[in-house]
Amino acid sequence: MKAILALSLSLLVAATLPAEDAPGWMKHVTRLPPGDHANLRPVSLEYTLDWNHRVNAGRVVLAVSKTDGETDRYVGQAEGRSTGFARLLYPYDFRARSIVEAPSLRPVAFQLVEKDRSDENSYDVIFEKNRQIYTTTSKKKDETLSNTGRFPFDFGQDVLSSAFYLRSQPLADGDQISMVVTPFNRPYLTIFKVAGREERKVKGKKYSTIRLEAEVGKVNPDFTIKTYEKIKRTTLWFSDDEYRIPLELQSQLAFGFVSARLDGLNWLD
């Protein structure tokens, strides 16, 4: 309860920040228009999660479709769960939904619901022109807590829109792309650096890939950036072709090494 109230206060205070007092790092966030790889065929992707190279830790399924009619949007649906021995230690399930404007690759709304052994949390994020509005609802036994906060920023991303925007760019060796990404109810400054091209085998299949290194920093209530200690290092590989499919993610976390690798792809059109 104390943490939720503190977060609410900090975000409401942040919402009053004058534009002239915006921190310098905001000016360096990448605001280029979508690049030549903006389009994506409707697709379903399946990933296996491993922990410390030994334990099958989870499964994630992501499906992306495109709406028809007057509004041209991408809709992403994802669900996942811990599996095997990891589930015995930490039963976890989630489902998420994201809506992204297709022409601009700007997010409209993002929703995430996650459950563990005893708690359920839901996060709803609405992206407006110059701010993001977060609503967090936590259910613990017979108690439900709800909180709403705001973050004044004009180019925020959710998890899906950040992947869309990143893959659309040229991604030339040495390029750097900076984004403010909200995976839950707190923004993070994420800087992607293109480390180069390489051949990589993922689940027994060889790919030509683009390798990116990511640095993640937590945006504090006073708008300073704090190193996110839970994530030590993150590397991401996209297929180096017209589709730019996320193939693998590796993260060295405070509690061990986690990887997600593509093991299923189905085009939906």
Domain ranges of the chain: 2-17+24-267
Integer Rg of the chain from CA: 19
Q: Token pair of 109, please?
A: 């709304």
Band (70; pLDDT cuts 50, 70, 90): low
Tokens representing 86 are: 């990891």
Span of 67-76, 107-116, 257-266 with lowest mean pLDDT:
67-76
The whole-number average pLDDT for the span 104-113 is 96
What does the CA dihedral 147, 153, 159, 161 come to, rounded to 10 degrees? 130
Residue 170 pLDDT exceeds 60: yes
Distance between CA atoms of 54 and 76, rounded to whole angstroms? 30
The reported pTM is 0.87
H/E element, 165: helix 159-168
β-pair type (231-239, 205-219): antiparallel
pLDDT tens column, 145-154: 999 999 999 9
Q: Per-residue pLDDT averaged across 7-29, rounded?
A: 55
pLDDT digits (tens, 9 = 90+) for 158-167: 999 999 999 9
